Amino acid sequence: MSLCGGETVIYLQLFLSFMKIGFTSFGGMSMIPLILEEMQTHGWMTAEDLSNLVAIAEMTPGPLGLNCATFTGTQTAGPLGGIIAVLGVLTPAFTLTLVVAIFFEKFKDSSVMRTIMLFVKPACIAMLLGVLVTLGGETFIGENGGILPFSILISAVMMVLLVKWKWSVPKVIVSSALLGILFYGILPMTGMGL
């Protein structure tokens, strides 16, 4: 299959963007601010698109970064784009794992590694808080700038179900979606809306 110049560029951009995300994040939710930045920089997605993407990626089996790469690459440049984005996000993990495996015995008791981890954990928490603020605006504030009380209520209930009752993440996501459909879809159509 021959690729024209524009397709080659987008494939290269996808690979490099997700390789950058893989190298500069620590997996899981810490990838989201980086994914958001890359998606908006290239004009591939909006914050709202990313919010939907994260919900889908959390519901599907597999790591969040891999799922995000698959969905983003496919949406941006078709199936080959999905494959290339996945290869990009996996390249750093494969490379770093190989290097660490080679030198594991040398570094496992290192005080330097323990010190590095003291800084990595707070950095991840700060990035997650940044994501909460960015995506919270999309979730809790309506198009007219008003607060969406049922979104806040659904989030609070789901937090209790996660923390106190130990519900699984997929179960909470499905429950949130069903409540969102009820409060923002079915009830408004029946005239009992918000």
- Domain stop point among 110, 125, 155: 110
Q: Does position 194 have pLDDT exceeding 60, yes or no?
A: no
110, 129, 164 - which closes a domain = 110
Structure confidence at residue 66 as a pLDDT band (50, 70, 90): confident
Verify that 84 and 42 share a domain, yes or no.
yes
Q: What is the mean pLDDT of the chain?
A: 84
**What's the sign of the alpha-carbon dihedral 11, 16, 20, 26?**
positive
* Domain match, 5 and 101 both: yes
Q: What CA–CA distance (Å, rounded) separates 100 from 114? A: 15
Q: Using CA atoms, how far apart are residues 15 and 53, in angstroms rounded to an integer?
A: 18
148-184 per-position pLDDT tens digit: 899 999 999 999 999 999 999 889 989 998 999 998 8
Task: Answer yes or no: do 81 and 155 share one domain.
Answer: no
The count of domains in the chain is 2
Question: Which helix (H) or strand (E) covers residue 158, if one does?
Answer: helix 149-163
| 94 shares a domain with 40 | yes
**Whether residue 147 sits in one domain with residue 102:** no
Assess whether 7 and 49 both reside in one domain: yes
Q: Does 124 fall in a domain? A: no
Structure tokens at 137: 């605006």
What type of residue is 39?
M
Let me know whether 83 and 151 are in one domain.
no
Q: Which of 114, 139, 115 is nearest to 48 (CA)?
A: 139
Please calculate the CA angle 17-128-21 and round it to the nearest 5 degrees.
Answer: 15
Answer whether residue 4 is part of any domain. yes
- Which residue, 70, 91, 110, sits at the end of a domain? 110
Q: What is the rounded average pLDDT of the residues 102-127?
A: 79
Please indicate, yes or no, whether residues 155 and 98 belong to a single structural domain of this protein.
no
User: pTM score, two decimals?
Assistant: 0.55
Which residues lie below 8 Å from residue 92, measured CB to CB, with a gap of 6+? Answer: 19, 22, 23
Q: Is the pLDDT of residue 105 over 70?
A: no
What is the domain extent for residue 60? 1-110
The residue-averaged pLDDT of 106-116 equals 76
Helix (H, G, I), strand (E, B) or coil at 46: coil
Extract the tokens encoding 115: 């010190």
